[in-house]
Amino acid sequence: MVAELGHFALVLAFAVAIAQSIIPLWGAHKGYAEPMRFAESAAMMSLLLIGFAFAALTYGFINSDFSLRVVYSNSHSDKPYLFKIAGVWGNHEGSMLLWVLILALYGALVAAFGSNIPPALRARALSVQAMVAVAFLAFILFTSNPFERMDPVPIDGTGLNPLLQDWALAAHPPFLYMGYVGLSMPFSFAVAALIEGRVDAAWARWVRPWTLLAWSTLTVGIALGSYWAYYELGWGGWWFWDPVENASFMPWLLAAALLHSAVVVEKRSTLKSWTILLAILAFSLSLLGTFIVRSGLLTSVHAFANDPERGVFILGILVVATGGSLALYAWRAPQMAPEGVFAPVSRESGLILNNLLLSVATAVVFIGTLYPLFVEALTDNKISVGPPFFNMGFSPLMIAILIAMPVGAALPWKRGDLPRVMKKLWTAAALSLLVGAMFAMWRTGGPLFAPLGIALAFWAIFGVIVDLAERVKLGRVPARETLRRLARLPRSAWGQALAHMGMGVCAFGIVGITAWESEDIRVAQAGDMIPLAGYDIRFDGVERTQGPNYRIDGGQFTIFRDGRQIAELVSEKRFYPVQRTQTTEAGIRASLVEDIYIVIGDRQEDGGWAVRSYVKPFANWIWLGALIMTLGGILSLTDRRHRVGAPNRAKPAGKADVVAAE
């Protein structure tokens, strides 16, 4: 009964979304206030209805209602409670329901907190948002109904893939979708602005918070996925350039570009049409990601051709949304004349460089991800594009971004003086080279690029610190004045500082783990000592125990350093009888310096066990960096300029207008 109500709520939401995609748009066109206001009530209603449908499905999972096909296929009565709930989105139908739920959530947020946005723009944006909702609700209702019943009702479910029964992976999709779907907001605002034919500093200010929220959550989502892969997959890889990862990484890169170009629109009233284009493309890549993932295109063109219904449906959505918005763009964008002028050396130019590098990086990932599909579809050849290609194509662009980042951030608007900026930054450069040299002496035997990479990462970190010190006139004015200046820095400045610093921290981790990882693979007998990177690892044998819904073979290890015991580790091999699947849980002693990472393998014929031991220097800095970036995004989000009402009340916009009017 609950499931039928949920299904009914979805149908109602579909109807509401259709109304919301037409009535406010018409009202805005005619200038009628009532139809425009309808957008808000409709957005709220959508959230209620889709929220109810989602709750109904969750109810089915919690109560193990195996008459529902998705529950039967993805749950089991023995499954721990948390994973029964996570099972809601651990499957195709439920994940699409989560997708539209988050879409509705964003719409409702605009309706609830968008009172500072002009009514016509808000009505149009919510209408565009509703069009996306119509498309995806139709997709769910016609191809992926999560409330489908089974008759006869099975006794028990087939369970959730054990690899997915993990907290990080339970939290991964909601965050990822908050990001993916959040990019629908800048998209909707971009299309609304194209319909209106006007983009100004105020527009950029309304778009930025949504982009920030989407980018921050996407960062968390990607980092969770990466961290999960690190500890769960059994050899500590953290990024694989897999098409599914790339599908989430491309919108992230473009959203980062969009964040930066929106600043230029806001402060300097230029780069308008480019920013609109980025907003359209960022969401299009989200749709493309959804398409790649949902269509089965990943395995091969043929797998897609065998079961094309869902894939074709999303491809249709992608073509209409991207094609339609780009056509609108081609028609309206030329009317958006750039206003602000600036010199080649200026913060504007720095941000253009940022956008150029991020966009080309996105393009490299895009080409690499889709190239094998095109080759297979268009020619008789088959080629593979894997990590070696991506590393080679992507790294130089990231290095360029890291080099340019502190310089660009220190340049003033309009016209800058490169020698003067470099004079400010030389302390950062000297310190980072010093750190690089220290690493070269401390960590001998690594590859040559490593100390340079470390220096580059610290250049980003020290660059931020020097810039902050410069802004608060550290050492040049009394300490109290410095503190006062520090306290008065806007939160968006702190946000920027943290995000840039996070980049450096993340780069540091990447260089560290890439350059100095140690590995040992062997067959060990109980009692054997494994010497590795300054540690001695004693294998104490394997104990068999029982987990909640799996059996455990736990490899026991004791770690010594200089003859002193520093840790005991257990590396588990888990066997899930329901799915007849085995997973590994690495034994990890995590620290900021290095992780000791041990994986127990199969039992050998001679009674020994395959044991893989790794020492992974600075691994955790990768996710720490992502966390810092996220904090930066959220801090920026709380800047009061994003919250206060009319833009002309805030000073910088007024100033920008004067500058633009020169």
Rounded-to-integer distance, Cα 163 and Cα 579, Å? 11
Question: What would the x/- binding string for other proteins be over residues 175 to 214, using CB under 8 A?
Answer: -x--------------------------------------
Contact between 171 and other proteins by CB under 8 A: the answer reads no
Assess 350 for contact with other proteins (CB under 8 A): no
Residue 601 in contact with other proteins, rule: CB under 8 A? yes
Angle at 631 between CA 630 and CA 636, to 5 degrees: 100
With binding defined as CB under 8 A, does residue 309 bind other proteins?
A: no
Q: Which one of 10-18, 371-379, 501-509, 537-545 is the stretch in contact with other proteins (CB under 8 A)?
A: 371-379
Cα–Cα nearest to 637, from 353, 20, 243, 212: 212
Is the Cβ of residue 237 or residue 541 nearer to other proteins in the bound state? 237
| Minimum CB distance to other proteins smaller for 262 or for 637 | 262
Q: Is 349 in the site for other proteins (CB under 8 A)?
A: yes
What residues between 395 and 414 interact with other proteins by CB under 8 A?
Answer: 397, 414
Rule CB under 8 A: say whether 340 interacts with other proteins.
Answer: yes
The answer to whether 496 touches 471, Cβ cutoff 8 Å, is no
Q: Is 324 in the site for other proteins (CB under 8 A)?
A: no
Tokens of 649: 């009340």
- Specify the stretch interacting with other proteins by CB under 8 A; choose among 255-263, 379-387, 541-549, 640-648: 379-387
Residues 263-292 that bind other proteins (CB under 8 A): 270, 292
Residue 602 within binding range of other proteins, rule CB under 8 A: yes
Query: Is 363 a residue that touches other proteins (CB under 8 A)?
Result: yes
Considering the complex, state which of residue 59 and residue 371 has its C-beta at the smaller distance from other proteins. 371
For position 67 contacting other proteins by CB under 8 A, the verdict is no
Among 18, 298, 326, 526, binds other proteins (CB under 8 A): 298
Position 616 contacts other proteins (CB under 8 A): no
Cβ-based nearer residue to other proteins, 49 or 656: 656
How far is 109 from 112, CA to CA, in rounded Å?
5
Interface with other proteins includes 347 (CB under 8 A)?
Answer: no
Q: Does 154 help bind other proteins (rule: CB under 8 A)?
A: no
Report 429-488 residues binding other proteins (CB under 8 A): none
- Residue showing tokens 């810039």: 467
Q: What is the DSSP string of 495-544?
A: HHHHHHHHHHHHHHHHHHHHHH-EEEEEEE-TT-EEEETTEEEEEEEEEE
φ and ψ of 18, to 5 deg: -60, -45
The residue within the footprint of other proteins, chosen from 12, 163, 403, 404 (CB under 8 A), is 163
For 152, residues 6+ apart whose C-beta sits below 8 A from its C-beta are none
Which token pair is 8?
A: 């009914």
* Residue that is written with structure tokens 């026991």 in the block: 556
> Which tokens is 509 given?
């981790």
Phi first, then psi: give them for residue 89, nearest 5 degrees. -105, 10
For position 129 contacting other proteins by CB under 8 A, the verdict is no
| CA 22 vs CA 17, 18, 124: distances in Å | 9, 7, 9
Minimum distance from residue 18 beta carbon to other proteins (Å) = 27
Local structure of residue 647 (DSSP, 8 states): G
Total chain residues near other proteins (CB under 8 A): 90
In 3D space, the residue among 203, 45, 188, 187 whose CA is nearest the CA of residue 128 turns out to be 188
Mind giving me the DSSP string for 153-214? PPSS-----GGG-SHHHHHHHHHHHHHHHHTHHHHHHHHHHHHHT---HHHHHHHHHHHHHH
- Contact residue for other proteins among 34, 81, 337, 379 (CB under 8 A): 379
Q: Tell me whether residue 581 or residue 638 sits nearer to other proteins (CB atom).
A: 581
Taking the least distance from each CB to other proteins, the nearer of 159 and 502 is 159
Nearer to other proteins, 380 or 562 (CB): 380
Q: Which is nearer to other proteins, 117 or 292 (CB)?
A: 292
* Of the candidate residues 173, 406, 512, 625, the single one contacting other proteins (CB under 8 A): 173
CA distance 428 to 462: 5
Contact status: 153 vs other proteins (CB under 8 A): no
Which of 2, 141, 360, 526 is in the footprint of other proteins by CB under 8 A?
Answer: 360
Instruction: Report the site for other proteins in 631-660 (rule: CB under 8 A).
Output: 655, 658-659
Comparing CB distances to other proteins, the nearer of 322 and 579 is 579
Question: How far is the C-alpha of 75 from the C-alpha of 71, rounded, in Å?
Answer: 5
- Scanning 280-288, 353-361, 402-410, 421-429 for contacts with other proteins by CB under 8 A, the matching segment is 353-361
Among 148, 242, 528, 540, binds other proteins (CB under 8 A): 242
173 with 88: CB under 8 angstroms? no
**Span 420-439, contacts to other proteins by CB under 8 A:** none
Nearer to other proteins, 189 or 274 (CB): 274
Closest by alpha carbon to 131, among 107, 163, 108? 107
Range list of H helices, 200-271: 201-232, 243-268
List of residues 6+ apart from 576 with CB closer than 8 A: 159, 162, 549, 550, 582, 583
